[in-house]
Chains A and B, each alone.
Chain A
Amino acid sequence: LAKTTQPISMDSYEGQEVNITCSHNNIATNDYITWYQQFPSQGPRFIIQGYKTKVTNEVASLFIPADRKSSTLSLPRVSLSDTAVYYCLVGDGNAGKSTFGDGTTLTVKP
C-alpha cells in the first residue's frame, strides 16, 4: 500500500495561505492523489485530485512535483471555517486498497 505521511498539525491565521504537504514515496505509476477535508462528527469531503503538475479548483490548488513522491495542498486566504482535518489519499493501483494517512489538523486563528 502507498503509505502517506503528513504533519500532525498546523496553525494559521485568517487570510493567510496554508500549504500542507503529503509524502508518498511508493506511489504507483497509475495512482492519483486526492485530498479530503473532515469536520468533527462528519464524513470526509472531497477537495481536489491530481496526477501531476498543478491542479486548481475554486477552493484549493494541488502541486505535484515531477517525481510524484509528494504533493502539496494549498488553501488560499483561509478563514475560521477552514479549521478541519485534511487527509491525502493515494491508491496502490488496486481498486479499494487505498490508504488514508492520519491527517493534518489545521487550526485557523482569528
Chain B
Amino acid sequence: NAGVTQTPKFQVLKTGQSMTLQCAQDMNHNSMYWYRQDPGMGLRLIYYSASEGTTDKGEVPNGYNVSRLNKREFSLRLESAAPSQTSVYFCASSDRAVQVGELFFGEGSRLTVL
C-alpha cells in the first residue's frame, strides 16, 4: 500500500506566487490533516478535515486554503507565497479523531519561498 502520498516533494517559489500541494491516501480514512514543520521545531496543524465535505482551521491557518476534493484527496493552497511559509509540509490521515487514533504521515513536501 502507498499510504499517504504527497506531491510535489520539492518546490521553489518566488514571493507572491501561488501553488497547490496535493495529498492522497488509500487507507479509506475519514480524517486528513496538513501540518507544517519549521527547522528544529515540532509540527503545527494548518488545517484539517474531519470527514469528506468538512474542513476546519488548525493552529496556523493564515495564508493557506484547503480543499477536501473527495475522501481520498486533501489539497493545500498557498495563494500568495511569502518567505515565512518556507517549511516542510506534511499531510496525514487517520480513521478517527487524532487524539484517539493513529496518524499516518506522508513523506513531506519541502517548500522554499524566495
- Quote the shortest CB–CB distance from A35 to chain B (angstroms): 11
Q: Which of A13-21, A58-66, A70-78, A98-106 forms part of the interface with chain B?
A: A98-106
Tell me which residues across on chain B come within 8 A of A42, comparing CB atoms: 105, 107-108
- Quote the shortest CB–CB distance from B24 to chain A (angstroms): 14
Interface residue from A90, A91, A100, A103 paired with B97 (Cβ < 8 Å): A91
Cross-chain contact B98 with A89 (CB below 8 angstroms): yes
Cross-chain contact B105 with A96 (CB below 8 angstroms): no
Cross-chain contact A87 with B42 (CB below 8 angstroms): yes
Tell me which residues across on chain B come within 8 A of A34, comparing CB atoms: 99, 102-103
> How many of chain A's residues touch chain B, expressed as a range?
20 to 34
* A interface secondary structure, majority: loop
Tell me which residues across on chain A come within 8 A of B99, comparing CB atoms: 31-32, 34, 89-93, 98
A97 interface contact, C-beta 8 A = yes
A binding-site residues for B, Cβ under 8 Å: 1, 30-32, 34, 36, 41-46, 49, 87, 89-93, 95-103
15 contacts between A and B (CB under 8 A): A31-B99, A32-B99, A32-B100, A34-B99, A41-B107, A43-B4, A43-B90, A45-B105, A89-B98, A89-B103, A96-B31, A96-B33, A96-B58, A97-B48, A97-B59
B binding-site residues for A, Cβ under 8 Å: 4, 31, 33, 35, 40-45, 48-50, 56, 58-59, 90, 92, 97-100, 102-108
Given contacts A43-B108, A96-B58, 4 further A-B contacts (CB under 8 A): A34-B99, A93-B99, A95-B50, A96-B97
